[in-house]
Each structure stands twice: as C-alpha cells, then as structure tokens.
Amino acid sequence: MGPRKTARSARAPSSKADGDSARPRTAGGPPERAKHCICMVSDFFYPNMGGVESHIYQLSQCLLEKGHKVVIATHAYGDRRGIRYLTNGLKVYYLPLQVMYNQSTATTCFHSLPLLRCVLVRERVTVVHAHSSFSALAHDALFHAKTMGLNTVFTDHSLFGFADVSSVLTNKLLTVTLCDTSHVVCVSYTSKENTVLRAALPPERVSVIPNAVDPEQFTPDPARRHPTRITVVVVSRLVYRKGIDLLGGIIPVLCAKHPDLCFLIGGEGPKRIVLEEVREKYQLHDRVRLLGALDHKDVRDVLVQGHIFLNTSLTEAFCMAIVEGASCGLQVCVCVCVCVCVCVCVCYNTSLTEAFCMAIVEGASCGLQVCVCVCVCVCVCVCVCVCVCVCYNTSLTEAFCMAIVEGASCGLQVCVCVCVCVCVCVCR
C-alpha cells in the first residue's frame, strides 16, 4: 500500500499543472494550446447545398488548418451512408436516420442517442458544435453531449417570429436545448437579439461572428453578362421561408413592365412548382430559366452572368448569397425581409455612377423595410446618392451613429436609407 500511495502522490502534481507534460513548450515561448476534437452536427450538409452547409464545411477546414480534429455528423442522403472523407481528411458520418420534412430528421431525443453516442465516444470528441434551429439532429446532439459532460456550442443561422405555430414550437424547443449549452454564436446582431428573446438567454452567453466569403473565389466578370438584356439572378433554396411565393408573384409583373428583363434562378426545393406554374401561365420560357440544384463550384459562374442579385428571404439572419453576389460585382436587391438582414462590409461597393436609386424610395414608400447591403445601388461612392425622407429609419437601438457624422465632416452627402443601425443624425 505504501508504494501505491507514493506513486499516486507523485502523479498528482503533474495533473494539476494543466498538462504541461502534454503541451510542449516552444523555445522561449508559452506552452502550445491543447488540440480539440470537434464534432459538427446538423441535418444540413453536402450533398445538400446552402449557406449552412457551406458554413460548416469552411469552418471545419479552418479548424483543421489550426491543428484540431474535426468530424461531421449528419443524416444519410439517399445512398450516401456510413463514413465518407472530404478535403484534408475531413471525416463525415452519414447516419441512417429517417428524414421527416425538408431534410430535417424527426426529433424524439432517443432514436439518435445510440448513433450519436457511438460517434462521440469513438472519435473522443471534446466539443460538440451544432448548427441551425431547423435541425432536429442538432438539438438531439446538444442534449446528449451535455449528458456526457462535453462542451457544447450552438450557431443559429436564421430568424424566427413569435406568433405562428411553427415558430412557437421551435422557440420552446430552443429554450430547452440552449438552457445548458456552453455558448451560442449568431451570425448578426439582429440574429443575436432574436435568439436571446426566443431562448430566454443572458446576452453575455451569445457572441456575434458575421459570415464572410473568400473574394478570390467570387471575382467579377462583366464579359459574361448579356449585352442587351438585364439579368436578375436568384440563388436560393426553393422553400417558403426563402420567399419563393413572393418571387413567383413579382416575376410576371416585372417582366410585363420591363421587356428587356430576364431571370436566372438556381436552386431546388418543393416551391419549384410555383415558379414552373408562373412560367407556364405567362409564357415566360425564354425569360425565366430554372437551373435546378447547383454545385458550390458553379455558383460563381451563375452569378457573373447577372446584373442584379435578388434575395426574397423572409427569415434570413445573414445571407451568404448576398455577400457572394456583391463580391461578383452584382447590385444586390433585398426585398421584403421581415427582419432586415445585417451584412458587414466584407462585400465591396462596385457602382460608381448611381446618383439616385428610385427603387429604394419606391420600396420604402410602399411600407417595405429596405436593406441597403453594401451597394444595393450605391450607399457611399464617388457620387453618394441623396434620398428624400420617404425612406424610413428602422433602427431600434442606435443612439447616435458616428460614421454618418464622420462622412458628412469629410464633405460627403450622407444617405440614410432604412439601414438596420442608422439613427437620427444631423447630416449635410
């Protein structure tokens, strides 16, 4: 018994030293940080295409470059079952779970337990990172991970209301799921406010990390545009929350008003039939092209063919396609957003000639919330547009915007166009 006690006492100091023996010190520097095994969990991943799928893949690649181990758990897509490997050895588990609706599995909290526990134990996962409130598999993974004593992170990608039945049920589920989650990440400040209210979370547990794209992969190519027609590009899932019913309503109106206007629509979903019916009813086969599902590598080739990028989403927190469209040199139009999306200045303003955008004034005068996302027809450029006070200020939190005053002090004419965080400032 004596030698055993001595051995235990000898090992005790090394366990209290934060694992210095497991973290080699660099020459003259601090010890290296411990590497984690991170499990990304969501119902939405490749071969399904969308912003959440792209976000998970790009984040996983960045974590792999940092030296962490990353695995992804999602449900099976057709014959794609079992384990697959992607770029840089990214390991993906396609679990044999039944899809209930819109690529989301049924949530019972128990049918996924054996499979998820097997993945977490087998890969020695230390952090579980779940994505999307729409994903039932993500909610299950957070619940099971906390019962196993693992750290959990949740990223919310969408906005929800508080009145309709689906939003009420999802918000209640989110409240239960996030009450014990280690940390929550949102992709915009509007999304953070929405998530804090929906899940009754303390704001200090929620961080904002905006989305971004690699501009080298989305470069403009004006030569690909049609010389005599104006092309409007739409790249989105064809589902209700993406505003496809609204898109189907405005296509015949715009085509009748502008004979040189055509639409290029990429994406797949249950609302495709709405667009096909509109095209058939109004005989717009030569002006409305439905491309179907697009591979991510083909998105840029579609975007550069257009002049205007149109987003009709109703629940978007941060639309990746908007940033991709602006990076490709398109003027971005964000129409009828229930909650106006907040886009950071990652995308560039490419217009140098617009003096006054009537579409912004017309939309605001009709009672629409207008989102000016880094050049929806020039916010600040060589000739800054001067909009009349028909555009309404939708800010709820800004007390005084210093950027407006700084721009006016530099001699610029300042345009206050229904931006999310624009307030009442004295401008010249």
Give the 3-state secondary structure of the chain.
CHHHHHHHHHHHHHHHCCCCCCCCECCCCCECCCCCEEEEECCCCCCCCCHHHHHHHHHHHHHHHCCCEEEEEEECECCECEEEECHHHCEEEEECCCEEECCEECCCCCCCHHHHHHHHHHCCCCEEEEECCCCHHHHHHHHHHHHCCCEEEEEECECCCCCCHHHHHHHHHHHHHHCCCCEEEECCHHHHHHHHHHHCCCHHHEEECCCCCCHHHCCCCHHHCCCCCEEEEEECCCCHHHCHHHHHHHHHHHHHHCCCEEEEEECCCCCHHHHHHHHHHCCCCCCEEEEECCCHHHHHHHHCCCCEEEECCCCECCCHHHHHHHHCCCEEEECCCCCCCCCCCCCCCCCCCCCCCHHHHHHHHCCCCCECCCCCCCCCCCCCCCCCCCCCCCCCCCCCCHHHHHHHHCCCCCCCCCCCCCCCCCCC
pLDDT per 10-residue tile (average), the chain, 428 residues: 42 38 49 83 88 90 94 93 94 92 79 93 96 92 94 91 83 91 92 92 93 86 92 91 91 94 93 95 94 88 94 80 90 63 37 46 48 37 32 46 63 50 36
| CB of 347 closer than 8 Å to CB of 377 | no
Whether a cis peptide bond, with omega within 30° of 0, leads into 47 is yes
Question: Which residue's entry shows tokens 């912003």?
Answer: 51
| CB of 322 closer than 8 Å to CB of 347 | yes
- Copy the structure tokens of residue 345: 């200045």
d(CA 204, CA 181): 13
| CB of 318 closer than 8 Å to CB of 343 | yes
Closest to 105 in 3D by CA, of 80, 132, 75: 75
Bridge-partner residues for 80, per DSSP? 77
Intra-chain end-to-end CA distance of the chain, in Å: 85
d(CA 288, CA 18): 62
Closest to 340 in 3D by CA, of 308, 376, 315: 315
d(CA 102, CA 257): 35
The residues, ordered by sequence, that sit 6+ positions from 241 with a Cβ below 8 Å of its Cβ are: 158, 313, 314, 315
- Copy the structure tokens of residue 175: 């409240």
Closest to 288 in 3D by CA, of 326, 335, 256: 256
CA separation (Å) from 238 to 188, 234, 241? Answer: 23, 10, 9
CB burial readout 135-145, b (16+ within 10 A) else e = bbbbbbbbbbb
d(CA 334, CA 158): 16
d(CA 50, CA 153): 21
d(CA 231, CA 345): 24
Q: Which pLDDT belongs to residue 408? A: 60
Closest to 312 in 3D by CA, of 395, 241, 217: 241
| CB of 384 closer than 8 Å to CB of 413 | yes
